[in-house]
Amino acid sequence: MTDNAPLIPVTLLTGFLGSGKTTLLNHLMQQTSMADTLVIINEFGEIALDHHLVTHSKENIVQEMSSGCLCCTIRGDLTKTLRDITWRFARNGKRQFNRVLIETTGLADPAPIIHTLMIDGHLAQRYKLDGIVTTIDMANGNQTLDQYSEAVKQAAVADCLLLTKKDLISSDTQQALQHRLKQINPTATQWEVKQGKIEATKLLNLGLFSTQRPDVQAWLKEELLQSSTATHQHDHAHDPNRHDDHIRAFCFTIDKPIPEENYFNWINFLMMMAGDHILRVKGILNIETYTHPMVIHGVQHIFHPPMPLDNWPSDDHRSKIVFITRDIEREVVENIFHALA
């Protein structure tokens, strides 16, 4: 791949056990918008089963890895697979795919995969995270969120939540679960999915993929955070035993340009003190001496280097940073920033 070749977008499909990922994938792989997609299917355990349930269209290539959990025991294999596929699935020197979709096991924490894409120098020059899509089983959603912190984390870091099995629950249960998910992740789009059917285009280009004409407002969605924060403070009492009551989502706005040294000191200190509790960060920054706005994206203690945009998306040149955290309040983030300013 040449230095000026476009980065290959990667979509990460997560969701707890039985939430409908395989059914969804069956429908996605038949759509023309997914024709040039390479799908990596991961399974938990020694015997691979899911690939027998997935219907393959001729335009899609499936690379199955069945030696363990993609996020844990075969993390190294993911790196090797992503390095190899650009030449392994090539014909006459031309790559046969333009997009990658990684389906994870239902037990998976998505953070290690995101870290792999961000910190491996070879992969960072070839791939770019396009979006995180999480399936939610509405029939068992509340119970799953109550019992498994991994399920809460999958919902918290998602760009898009796909709500399955709606026909098995009452409208009151549906509304309550959707409200709960909105509290966990106010910025994620929620789509209802019936029998795995949804337009693939709704799941693509979810990130700030193009730096030429970026839709920063759609990417940050800070206005949703503001309304959700106000609602969250008044609509229920916190239960310390509920996993999602530990999740916080907020937008931190800085009115004046930030000295470059202050920004890096703040982020480094924040990651050192609480990196494991910072689930996801994304933002647009006005940094002193920089002629362009800078975009940042981080997961836990790993950050992409700031990326320049050609222009500000509006007349508002304030820095805006969206945080999704676990057991870290907004005041902590603000106080650390002001202490180092």
What is the β-pairing status of strands 127-137 and 99-103? unpaired
Classify burial at 124, counting beta carbons within 10 Å of its beta carbon; exposed 0-12, middle 13-18, buried 19 or more: middle
For 89-188, where are the alpha helices, taking DSSP H only? 111-119, 121-124, 141-147, 149-156, 171-184
| Predicted local confidence at residue 306, as pLDDT | 78
- d(C-alpha 246, C-alpha 117), whole Å: 27
Q: Residue 63 — φ and ψ, nearest 5°?
A: -105, 110
User: For 10-38, what is each residue's pLDDT tens digit?
Assistant: 999 998 878 888 888 888 878 888 877 88
pTM exceeds cut of 0.85? no
| Predicted local confidence at residue 303, as pLDDT | 76
The answer on pLDDT for 181 being more than 80 is yes
b/e map 159-176, b = 16+ CB within 10 Å: bbbbbbbbeebeeeebee
Torsion angle, alpha carbons of 257, 263, 265, 271, to 10:
150
b/e map 291-329, b = 16+ CB within 10 Å: eebbbbbbbbbbbbebeebeeebeeeeebbbbbbbbebe
Residues 8-203, CATH architecture: 3-Layer(aba) Sandwich (3.40)
User: For the residues 260-269, what does the mean pLDDT come to?
Assistant: 88
User: For the residues 272-298, what does the mean pLDDT come to?
Assistant: 85
- Residue 135 pLDDT level (bands cut at 50, 70, 90): very high
Q: Is 49 helix (H, G, I), strand (E, B) or coil?
A: coil
User: For 305-340, what is each residue's pLDDT tens digit?
Assistant: 778 888 887 888 999 888 888 888 888 888 888 887
Q: Which residues contact 258 (CB under 8 A, 6 or more apart)?
A: 285, 286, 287, 288, 319
Q: What is the CATH number of domain 216-340?
A: 3.30.1220.10
Q: Where are the domains of the chain?
A: 8-203, 216-340
Q: Which of 9-18, 124-133, 242-251, 267-276 has the lowest mean pLDDT?
A: 242-251
Q: Residue 164 — φ and ψ, nearest 5°?
A: -110, 165
Q: Residue 257 — φ and ψ, nearest 5°?
A: -55, 145
| Predicted local confidence at residue 225, as pLDDT | 52
User: For 49-105, what is each residue's pLDDT tens digit?
Assistant: 455 445 544 455 554 433 332 222 333 467 777 887 777 767 777 777 788 888 876
**What sign does the dihedral 162-167-168-171 (CA atoms) show?**
positive
Q: Which of 68-72, 80-84, 277-281, 291-295 has the lowest mean pLDDT?
A: 68-72
Q: Which one-letter amino acid corresponds to residue 299? A: V
Q: Which residues contact 300 (CB under 8 A, 6 or more apart)?
A: 111, 115, 275, 276, 278, 279
- d(C-alpha 77, C-alpha 65), whole Å: 8
The answer on pLDDT for 48 being more than 90 is no
